Amino acid sequence: MVAEIQTAQDVWPVLNPVVFVPHEESEYQQLVAILDNLIDEVGENENHPLVSMMEVIGVLIEKYEEEHVPELTEI
């Protein structure tokens, strides 16, 4: 596990601009744009190497929306 953590530490500076927890609207919008680009790249290919990244970014977006975007109520 130590080797995996070292690898993560080595590559994190490259990934950090793409995979991060959004704390404000502009960061949220940036993640939405990244996800849109990933969707365009991955398409329907469930074996694409970026599928997992797409899922992680989707979860980060969903978490932000749960905490910051009010739910629409039906009239």
Is it the case that residue 74 has pLDDT exceeding 90?
Answer: no
Cα separation values, 2 from 5, 7, 8, 52, Å: 5, 9, 10, 22
CB distance 58 to 35 below 8 Å: yes
CB atoms within 10 A of CB 53: 18
Binned at pLDDT 50, 70 and 90, residue 70 comes out as confident
Q: What are the boundaries of each domain within the chain?
A: 17-68
Tokens of 11: 């590559």
Structure confidence by residue, pLDDT tens digits, 9-61? 999 999 999 999 999 999 999 999 999 999 999 999 999 999 999 999 999 99
With a CB cutoff of 8 Å and minimum separation 6, the contacts of 18 are 34, 53, 57
